[in-house]
Amino acid sequence: MSSERRRHPRYSTELSALLVLPDGHRMEASTANLSRGGASVVINKRLPAGVHILMELSPPSPPERSVFKLWANTLHSKPLEGDNGYGLGIEFEDTPVHYKQLIMELDPNPQLA
């Protein structure tokens, strides 16, 4: 049995996202879950660990900003069951305040942090 390494709770949320790779290529994605410090996203093509990306996340309803832009690093990419793409684990860098507000809205038991 492995120990839990996550520092923040995850919230199951499916949102549209776009990953911008270092070479400028764009990859469509959707979130499987979100947390303050990272996310699990579903993509069609495998990415290696250690890739620095920009994730453009479409919010569930348009707030003041129409898209959240989050710099992140890939942690792992694993095949999903039934040949349904890959599950990509990412860790955010310097999470913006407006994104943290989105996470607080997803949290059924908000706490001061």
What pLDDT does 84 receive?
A: 86
User: 6 falls in which pLDDT band (50, 70, 90)?
Assistant: low
Residues 87, 44: Cα–Cα separation, whole Å:
9
In a domain, 20, yes or no: yes
User: 1 falls in which pLDDT band (50, 70, 90)?
Assistant: very low
Comparison of pLDDT for 60 and 89, the residue scoring more: 89
In a domain, 113, yes or no: no
Average pLDDT over residues 18-31: 97
- Chain centroid, CA 79 distance in Å: 17
Place of tokens 């038991």: 109
Statement: residue 4 has pLDDT above 60: no
What pLDDT does 112 receive?
A: 43
CATH number at residue 25: 2.40.10.220
Residues 15, 2: Cα–Cα separation, whole Å:
29
In a domain, 6, yes or no: no
In a domain, 2, yes or no: no
In a domain, 3, yes or no: no
Give the three-state DSSP class for 102. Answer: helix
In a domain, 5, yes or no: no
Query: How many Cβ atoms sit within 10 Å of the Cβ of residue 102?
Result: 20
Domain count, the chain: 1
Most confident of 8-12, 40-44, 63-67: 40-44
The two three-digit tokens of residue 101, written as one number: 């507000």
pTM: 0.83
Residues 107, 26: Cα–Cα separation, whole Å:
30
Statement: residue 67 has pLDDT above 80: yes
For 23, the domain range is 11-106
Statement: residue 110 has pLDDT above 70: no
Average pLDDT over residues 74-85: 92
In a domain, 102, yes or no: yes
In a domain, 112, yes or no: no
